[in-house]
Structure 1
Amino acid sequence: MNEDDVCSDTDEICVSSIFLEGEDINMSISHAADSIGLKEIPRYEVKIIEEDDWMKGAQESFHPVEVTEGLWVVPKWITPPDIQAMNIILNPGLAFGTGDHPTTKLCLLLLHDCIKGGEHILDYGTGTGILAIAALKFGAAFAVGVDIDSQAIASASENATLNNIEPDKLQLHLIASQTSSSCRDDWPSRVVEGENAFEIDRVTHKDKYDVVIANILLNPLLNLADQIIFSAKPGAIIGLSGILSEQVQNILQKYSLFLEGIEVSKMDDWACVSGRKRKNIDIC
């Protein structure tokens, strides 16, 4: 989405989207317009982009990121600027989480500060696996990453290998949904495919994790609140991000009954809410 550079009219917002070849673009845009109550389909133009050019452009936009002193996120095709630093090597593919977005940075900083060694971590919406991988590099003993996107799981698995994460240290679960499907035989040994949308119940055992991190979006954070709290040990650290600063109040209203010592960190217009699970609550 672009409000400044592409559109000369400041009252307009330009949206760019990638479609599969042969897809009915007019129908897709019509559905999108209907979903937000537009009476007319917005004007649009279609450009054919070669896949190699798109991938090259994506790679050129991904540069090494210094999250904090001594902690870098580095594309796999670039030599780390500081070979003595803790370098998280990534090939993002089509998944979210390159270390450049403020919410990813906020979550990395939270994990950097709270992990002391030996923790069990749950990463909701793992994307590229960057947070689970970082947690293990910081000293966590074991991590589980879950996502509904098969491309994210594939990316996270590759990135775990790039960072020499042993399969018994990181387990990745594809949580099946109406739009996610895959072939079980294609997955590496660290990946466990969900059988249905309720598979998450078998991944998030009650009171299992010392740290639960969820860098997703506002509505999933609200809808999954019981599940997120359920999986954390009493006293566990819970980090919630993927939200704008203006949405923090929604999170506080939902989670304040479950968390104590709540803190809010912000970067640009984005925020991360964290706290410890209260010891005297009962989630069924």
Structure 2
Amino acid sequence: MSGGLLRHLAYNLTSRCFTTVSRPLAPPFSSRFFPNPKPRHLSRPNSLAAANISTASSDPPTPSAEPNEPFASPFLSVQIRCQKHVADILSEALLCFGASSTSIDEEDDNDGKDEICIDSIFPEGEDVKTCISRAADSISLKEMPSYEVKMGEQFDWITKTQESFHPVEVTEGLWIVPEWRIPPDAQATNITLNPGLAFGTGEHATTKLCLLLLRRLIKGRELFLDYGTGSGILAIAAVKFGAALSVGIDIDPQAITSARQNAALNSIGPEKMQLHLLPSKTSSSSRGPCGGGEDRSSSGVESILETNKYDVVIANILLNPLLDLADHIVSYAKPGAVVGLSGIISEQLPHIIERYSQLLEDVSITEMDDWACVHGTKKQNLSES
């Protein structure tokens, strides 16, 4: 899932990417990064790398420093109290509206109370009250959560983040391995990642569901499109599974930078994996409120991405973007090709099924930890886009 696509839609689709379409919310969701952590932790991509990213040129940017170079910064430590059943989705919303990272203490979750504490970090000088208010509004909370702000000391962001990530076995013979860790099984299919720049570490249920789907679908020589590529994890996996070409697209320059670095870590060149920074169609400004790239609508990038071309298309984003962009997502798939959709909680499935039943047939659902992945084949009689 792309952090850039997510943040952009949070602002430019009137924050609907975080607004659930039914109440009450589902039981606490899985953490973005950890299946069973203490605490659960989420990181905002540009908290680690934005200072090193330039978006001035029309080409995807390159960090001015190596990924492992320490990046220290003062910060605000903010403790936010909220009801347990909204803690996870509020954590994600906070990342959209200014938080650099959030974590939820599992031990606090077991104290028998209806409330839980979200420990969050904001950059020094951030308007914390406004950020929390916007995040709460975006998920339709009726009351502003209570919070306490303290000044934190400088620390090494990247080192702290690296300490949190460990190799993850998605399924037998398939591992996601942080760049600084040794693969537990050298004979397995190992996807090496540096997750510091964009979302997609392989530990979240939605990413696992997509990886398992890809492993079943890729038999050899397929053309694959990763819609909202983030760290590039799905695009990399498709190549390792045998795809002839893997294409990742995103509207966030940081995501493209991260995906390119991760492709290099896995010795995958541009002949096998292409990455495209798309223009932001829903914003007329040259730079989005979350630091998105300039509008490149005249760059011709989209003309490279042919519709009705790909054998497999996967979009691992969130409910409302999936609904709003349904025709655009499916347009890239060949008639009869498989389209996979994830980033949705199980209770949202009826809305996805209703929307995509117009476009797909033979629809199937897989679920993991209250999250779901939907896939089906593109209808043969759809008019070409």
TM alignment of 1:183-194, pairs within 5 A: none
Q: Could you tell me whether the CA contact under 8 Å between 1:263 and 1:273 is conserved in 2?
A: yes
Partner of 1:135: 238
Matched residues in 2 for 1:40 and 1:113: separation?
44
Matched residues in 2 for 1:262 and 1:38: separation?
36
Partner of 1:57: 160
Please state if 1:42 is matched with 2:154. no
Partner of 1:148: 251
TM alignment of 1:7-156, pairs within 5 A: 10-35=113-138, 36=140, 38=142, 40=144, 42-52=146-156, 54-156=157-259
Q: Could you tell me whether the CA contact under 8 Å between 1:175 and 1:197 is conserved in 2?
A: no
TM-score of the pair, normalised by structure 1: 0.87
2:130 match: secondary structure: helix
Q: Could you tell me whether the CA contact under 8 Å between 2:199 and 2:231 is conserved in 1?
A: yes
Offset at residue 13 of structure 1 (A): 4.4
4+ long deviations beyond 4 Å? 37-41, 197-201
Q: Could you tell me whether the CA contact under 8 Å between 1:72 and 1:88 is conserved in 2?
A: yes
Q: Deviations over 1:182-235 (max 9, x none)?
A: 5xxxxxxxxxx8604997753542201111011111111111100011110001
Matched residues in 2 for 1:271 and 1:205: separation?
28
Please state if 1:237 is matched with 2:341. no
Q: Could you tell me whether the CA contact under 8 Å between 1:238 and 1:276 is conserved in 2?
A: yes
Call closer, same or farther: CA 1:244–1:47 in 2, change over 3 Å. farther
Offset at residue 14 of structure 1 (A): 3.3
Call closer, same or farther: CA 1:33–1:97 in 2, change over 3 Å. closer
Matched residues in 2 for 1:38 and 1:47: separation?
28
Partner of 1:248: 349
Matched residues in 2 for 1:85 and 1:259: separation?
34
2:351 match: secondary structure: helix
Q: Could you tell me whether the CA contact under 8 Å between 2:307 and 2:331 is conserved in 1?
A: yes
Indicate the structure whose relative CO is greater, using CA pairs within 8 Å and at least 6 residues apart.
2
Give the stretch that moved more between structures: 205-214 or 1-10: 1-10
Indicate the percent of aligned positions where both proteins have the same amino acid. Answer: 57
Partner of 1:187: none
Offset at residue 237 of structure 1 (A): 0.7
Q: Could you tell me whether the CA contact under 8 Å between 1:147 and 1:153 is conserved in 2?
A: yes
Aligned residues: 273
Matched residues in 1 for 2:367 and 2:375: separation?
11
Matched residues in 2 for 1:198 and 1:37: separation?
40
TM-score of the pair, normalised by structure 2: 0.65
Q: Could you tell me whether the CA contact under 8 Å between 2:338 and 2:378 is conserved in 1?
A: yes
